[in-house]
């Protein structure tokens, strides 16, 4: 029997913020680059395609002295009976003894660490003076990514929101902006950019310095001919076989970086470019760029792509920061197990 | 946020018993035989060989409407700093929605479900009038297996305990018997057999009706020439590459049953017999025998072997029974996650 820290959804919402997640995810990418972060094989089981499935992701971070797992279940039908679609639980163990340290509701962690990834891509690969941000998608990933990028890229003055299925009306735009404002507030910041709903993606792409794609699309929404020099892409919507958001030909013109090269070639935004032999590999992984082992952007004119498929190490690093923060601020509870 | 049942070590000890575990494991074997129990890929990571490792086992039981996982960490050095060697945690989810239902300390579950397996092997494969039981090994698996077999095989009058490394003295024998008595008491039963420590395994093998092997041995302790007709073996000590407890030639003379055929041929007691082409496959899986899809023992003279490598489905079925029992008896606590 030993004491285990419990951080439920309410506890986590008291202490999580995007700055914390950005720091955590940078740390995870760096440890991965230094071979101190290992991702273990994914367990995936599908009850009904696109309706009910689950996966178990696991791995360790040696420098953070921990390992753990995240069990995520997705059930499309749950809202009908008043349950959330996503059920996610994380276990974190001590990396020296194997003792279970904490059990966390991993659902909020997933949102924050995904937004953080988009922002880290921009921070290390986009032009420093980027002013115009185009966000493709208006869901959860879009919202967290937008807020996080406004933290790492304070030069941004304009945020364009685009949804391929419908024009975002003013009410929805205000709601989106309000939620982004809340996310920034958690990190002690405010919005310094204008938000605008757009319907002509071709026109906006031509003047965008940074583009976040955050949709479940399975065909390209952005044509290679629309992209201006210097644009940075953070591609967040992939992570499954068959998904695509931007023209695969953009890959041949860009400096391209993965969160995990093997995973991105298989299920990332790069999968089409790889299958069609437009690329054979990435210029590097994002962790190598963070540690300056390789150069990210080489000139203001480079197009850059960060292909983010999502790694359990991002969750684990965020969980560890939350556990420490919770101890300091006396948040959460303890159980004996 | 939703309520999750917590069953810690103390809670589980209040309600677990071998009868419950035997019922649960029989149910797991049957569901597996009916393709209603799926074992998902094992995740295994080794920090230091034979010193510190962990694995994540997972799967579902469709008829029990659940799925889950067990994270087990093993660290040989933990006792030096006052921690247990084994740290095991189970998560159980609802099989229709994916909602997390319960978190359990899985360490006691592992002991009970392993003992139950040994006893189920004997119950369905040994001769009904078996009187003499030989237990090879005197550790935890031996203790739980002995108690469980005394439940399923009330005909047993004599229990011989053998340890290949040392002779079990009277104090240790009494301790072992006392612990078996406690385990039987939990199921409302008492010991009706004599216990004896033995040093000449050849002599005892010749008169044993049932033999449990429950050691971490990597070489055969029982020679094929010592085995009398009619003997049943429940081989519990394998489950890792390189492990062996009985002469592989016994397999050629026996009717042989696996908990999971593929797993047993790879890491079970059968691995040597399979590698040396003494066998190419099993006569069947134990679940098929329980459901009378195939015949177990065909005559009193048959030698039978149950090769038990251990399945997560045994843990899951036991966990589900414990969750129901805990609700009925108001044991355990609840958290919001």
Give the CA-trace dihedral at B32, B34, B37, B38, to 10 degrees: 90
Q: Dihedral, CA atoms, B44, B46, B47, B53, nearest 10 degrees?
A: 70
Residue of A nearest to B57 (CA): A43
Residue window 89-108, chain B: list those with CB within 8 Å of chain A.
Answer: 89, 91, 93, 97-100, 103, 105
Chain B residues touching A103 at Cβ < 8 A: 103, 337
Q: Which of residues 29-88 of B touch A (CB under 8 A)?
A: 38, 40-41, 43, 45, 52, 54, 56, 58, 60, 67, 69, 71, 73-75, 77-78, 81, 83, 87
User: Going by DSSP bridges, is the β-strand pair B86-94/B66-75 parallel, antiparallel, or unpaired?
Assistant: antiparallel
Domain A115-310 CATH superfamily: NAD(P)-binding Rossmann-like Domain (3.40.50.720)
Under a CB-based contact definition with an 8 Å cutoff, are residues B100 and A86 in contact?
A: no
Q: Take residue B324 and report the two structure tokens written for it.
A: 């129901």
**Residue closest to A197 by CA, chosen among A256, A136, A258, A267:** A136
Between the alpha carbon of residue B210 and those of residues A127, B45, B62, B159, B214, the distances in Å are 75, 36, 33, 10, 13
| pLDDT score at B1 | 60
Q: Which residues pair with A196 in a beta bridge?
A: A160
A337 in contact with chain B, both atoms CB, cutoff 8 A: yes
- C-beta atoms of A52 and B98 within 8 A: yes
Chain A residues within an 8 Å CB radius of B10: 1, 336
pLDDT tens, residue by residue, A183-226: 999 999 999 999 999 999 999 999 999 999 998 888 899 999 99
A2-56: pLDDT as tens digits = 799 999 999 999 999 999 999 999 999 999 999 999 999 999 999 999 899 999 9
DSSP A64: T
Interface mutation target, options B91, B105, B109, B337, chain A, most CBs of A under 10 Å: B337
Q: At which residue do the structure tokens 């589980």 appear?
A: B12
Q: What number is the average pLDDT over the span A134-149?
A: 96
Residues B67, A74: C-beta atoms closer than 8 Å: no
Show residues of chain A in contact with B75, CB under 8 Å.
Answer: 97-98
CA dist., res. A183 & res. A170, Å (int):
20
Residue A127 CA, distance from chain mean position: 20
Overall average pLDDT of the B305-318 stretch: 96
> Which residues from A are below 8 Å from B54, CB to CB?
67, 93, 98
Q: Which CATH number fits domain B116-310: 3.90.870.30, 3.40.50.720, 1.10.3720.10, 3.90.180.10?
A: 3.40.50.720
Residue of A nearest to B89 (CA): A100
SS3 B328: helix
pLDDT at B170: 95
Nearest partner of A16 among A265, A315, A275, A257, judged by Cα: A315
- B62-90 residue pLDDT tens: 999 999 999 999 999 999 999 999 999 99
In the three-class reduction of DSSP (H, G, I as helix; E, B as strand; rest coil), residue B145 is classed as helix
Residue B57's beta-bridge partner residues?
B70
Measured CA to CA, the distance from residue B36 to residue B29 in angstroms comes to: 10
What does each C-alpha distance from B169 to A246, A251, B135, B145 come to in angstroms?
74, 73, 15, 20
pLDDT in the model for residue B289? 98
Q: Which of A11, A240, A4 is nearest to A107 (CA)?
A: A11
Residue A257 has φ and ψ, to the nearest 5°, of -135, 140
pTM higher than 0.90, yes or no?
A: yes
Candidate from A98-102, B29-33, B123-127, B137-141 with smallest mean pLDDT: B137-141
Please report residues of B whose CB lies closer than 8 A to that of A102. Answer: none
Domain ranges, ordered by start, for chain A: 3-110+313-336, 115-310
Q: At what angle do helices A312-329 and A107-125 cross, to 10 degrees?
A: 110
pLDDT tens-place string over residues B194-247:
999 999 999 999 999 999 999 888 889 999 999 999 999 999 976 677 788 899
- Quote the pLDDT of residue A297: 97
Question: Which CATH number does B3-110+313-336 carry?
Answer: 3.30.1780.10
pLDDT digits (tens, 9 = 90+) for B145-203: 999 999 999 999 999 999 988 999 999 999 999 999 999 999 999 999 999 999 999 99
Does A97 contact B74 at a Cβ distance shorter than 8 Å? no
Q: Kindly list the distances between the CA atom of residue B53 and the CA atoms of A113, B75, B268, in Å, as whole numbers in the listed order.
A: 28, 7, 19
Nearest chain B alpha carbon to A105: B337
Q: How many CB atoms lie within 10 A of CB B182?
A: 11
CB atoms within 10 A of CB B30: 20
pLDDT, tens digit (0-9, with 9 covering 90-100), for B251-292: 999 999 999 999 999 989 999 999 999 999 999 999 999 999
pLDDT value at A242 more than 80? no
The closest of B116, B118, B120, B97 to B108, measured between CA atoms, is: B116
ipTM of this predicted structure: 0.91
């Amino acid at each position: 029997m030993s004491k285990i820290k419990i951080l439920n959804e309410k506890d986590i919402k008291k202490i999580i913020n995007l700055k914390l997640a950005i720091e955590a995810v940078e740390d995870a990418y760096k440890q991965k680059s230094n071979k101190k972060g290992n991702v273990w094989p994914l367990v995936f089981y599908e009850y009904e395609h696109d309706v009910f499935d689950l996966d178990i992701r696991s791995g360790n971070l040696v420098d953070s002295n921990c390992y753990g797992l995240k069990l995520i279940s997705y059930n499309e039908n749950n809202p009908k009976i008043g349950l959330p679609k996503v059920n996610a639980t994380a276990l974190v163990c001590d990396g020296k003894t194997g003792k279970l340290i904490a059990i966390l509701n991993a659902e909020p962690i997933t949102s924050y660490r995904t937004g953080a990834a988009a922002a880290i891509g921009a921070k290390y690969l986009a032009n420093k003076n980027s002013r115009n941000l185009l966000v493709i998608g208006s869901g959860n990933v879009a919202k967290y990514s937008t807020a996080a990028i406004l933290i790492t890229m304070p030069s941004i003055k304009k945020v364009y929101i685009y949804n391929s299925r419908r024009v975002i009306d003013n009410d929805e735009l205000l709601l989106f902006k309000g939620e982004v404002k809340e996310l920034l507030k958690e990190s002690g910041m405010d919005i310094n950019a204008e938000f605008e709903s757009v319907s002509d993606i071709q026109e906006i792409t031509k003047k965008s310095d940074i583009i976040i794609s955050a949709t479940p699309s399975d065909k390209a929404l952005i044509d290679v001919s629309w992209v201006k020099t210097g644009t940075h892409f953070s591609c967040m919507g992939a992570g499954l076989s068959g998904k695509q958001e931007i023209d695969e030909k953009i890959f041949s013109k860009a400096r391209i970086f993965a969160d995990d090269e093997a995973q991105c070639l298989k299920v990332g935004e790069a999968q089409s470019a790889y299958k069609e032999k437009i690329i054979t590999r990435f210029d590097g992984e994002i962790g190598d760029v963070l540690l300056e082992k390789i150069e990210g952007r080489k000139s203001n004119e480079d197009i850059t792509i960060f292909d983010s498929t999502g790694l359990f190490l991002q969750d684990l690093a965020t969980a560890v920061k939350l556990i420490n923060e919770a101890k300091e601020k006396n948040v959460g509870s303890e159980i004996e197990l």
